[in-house]
Amino acid sequence: MENILVTGGCGFIGTNFIRYLLLDSDFTGRIINLDSLTYAGNAENFADLATSKSDRYIFIQADICDAKAVERAFETYGIDAVCHFAAESHVDRSIVAPGAFIQSNINGTFNLLEIARRHADRLVLFHHVSTDEVYGSLGPEGLFTEQSPYRPNSPYAASKAASDHLVRAYGKTYGLPVTISNCSNNYGPYQFPEKLIPLMILNALDGKPLPVYGDGGNVRDWLFVTDHCRAVWEIMKRGTRGWMYNISGRCEMTNLDTVKMICDLLDEMVPGSDANSRRDLIAFVRDRPGHDLRYAIDCSKLENELGWTPRESFETGLKKTIQWYLDHPQWVRSVETGEYRKWIERHYKE
């Protein structure tokens, strides 16, 4: 893999993945980051690499649904592998406005696959990044495995399930070399503060209410984002083509316990001016419609086959995440004010 097309590389996981590949992994080739810069994409995340690694990092602002732009990227840069992150990713937004999820997640993936198929002579891999949400919801017992049936419950999950099926079908029907990974909830640096963990960190620091849906008893299986990035890279290098791999941190937490842990860590790391704990800010609010009760993933296939294990515990990962948000007030300000959307224009004008 010399010229990897990363889609959605300006989002949370894509940013961490590209930074990992260029700064911390054994990858020696070039990254072509194709991202349309929706509200969730921040090109400024690469302000440093755009100069220091300009021979190995190329950015294209384009939509994965734009066949001409994607085709041009394949031709111009001799793409020989794809790592496909681009998607609308937030469940709550998919409940309010599902259209964009159908367009980017399903039609966008279809468009990419069609172009990849036309370049099959050179393509060694099409890796598709997906989610555990395709499996639906668990009761109090059991784990999702790669054999679990697909039972998506939200428009987001359904759109990701559809895209998984397309990728699998292109592998079977056209012999495209594909792999799929289905991952549990990620957290870490650069996550847009609409998702539970960064939202709670920033609200708690500002003394704002911490909105917990329902009774806070829903369970998520948390994975530090760098552990996810290492897993994706291992699958890309050594994973069996045509297979899917589950990825998780084996770290089940109720949402309420997660929020309490964030409050306690913040009280320790940034003591407030009064004796009150930030736990006092917790506010139970109306539940998400169709809210999946519990996700828990069996990732033993990935562990046994490729020798991957998560390195971060929830406590060490959360401390690093909190520290990152404390150390990057300018990033937070820029995201909160919308200023980050202007960086790309400034950068290319200068």
Which positions lie near ligand NAD, rule CB under 6 A? 7-8, 10-14, 35-38, 40-41, 63-65, 85-89, 104, 108, 129, 131, 160, 183, 185-186, 192
From ligand NAD, ligand DAU, none, which one binds at residue 321 (CB under 5 to 8 Å depending on kind)?
none
Q: Judge contact between 277 and 210, C-beta under 8 A.
A: no
d(Cα 278, Cα 205) in Å, to the nearest integer?
Answer: 9
Q: Is 63 a catalytic residue?
A: no
Strand partners, 210: 282
d(Cα 326, Cα 154) in Å, to the nearest integer?
Answer: 33
342's CB contacts (< 8 A; 6+ apart) are: none
d(Cα 74, Cα 80) in Å, to the nearest integer?
Answer: 8
> Which residue's beta carbon is nearest to the bound ligand DAU?
131
Given 132, 252, 292, 312, which residue is catalytic? 132
Biggest CA pair distance of the chain: 65
Distance of closest approach, residue 64 Cβ to ligand NAD, in angstroms: 4
Q: Is 89 in the site for ligand DAU (CB under 6 A)?
A: yes
Rg over CA atoms, the chain: 20
From ligand DAU, ligand NAD, none, which one binds at residue 317 (CB under 5 to 8 Å depending on kind)?
none
Query: Of these, 91, 161, 178, 335, which contacts ligand DAU (CB under 6 A)?
Result: 91
Q: Is 88 a catalytic residue?
A: no
From ligand NAD, ligand DAU, none, which one binds at residue 91 (CB under 5 to 8 Å depending on kind)?
ligand DAU
Q: Judge contact between 126 and 110, C-beta under 8 A.
A: no
Closest CA to 135 of 160, 152, 155, 154: 152
Distance of closest approach, residue 180 Cβ to ligand NAD, in angstroms: 11
Q: Is 156 a catalytic residue?
A: yes
Which residue's CB is nearer to ligand DAU, number 58 or number 91?
A: 91
Q: Is 228 in the site for ligand DAU (CB under 6 A)?
A: no
Query: Of these, 19, 30, 128, 195, which contacts ligand DAU (CB under 6 A)?
Result: 195
At residue 188, φ and ψ (nearest 5 deg) are 145, -170
Q: Quick count: other Cβ atoms within 10 Å of Cβ 27?
A: 19
Q: Quick count: other Cβ atoms within 10 Å of Cβ 278?
A: 22
Distance of closest approach, residue 233 Cβ to ligand NAD, in angstroms: 14
Which residue's CB is nearer to ligand NAD, number 73 or number 322?
A: 73
- In single-letter form, the type of residue at position 268 comes to E
Query: Of these, 7, 159, 184, 248, which contacts ligand DAU (CB under 6 A)?
Result: 184
**Which stretch of DSSP H or E encloses residue 201?**
helix 196-206
Given 44, 63, 88, 133, which residue is catalytic? 133
3-state secondary structure of 149: coil
Give residues in contact with ligand DAU (CB under 6 A).
Answer: 89-91, 131-133, 184-185, 195-196, 199, 211-213, 218, 220, 255, 288, 295
Active-site residues, by number, are: 132-133, 156
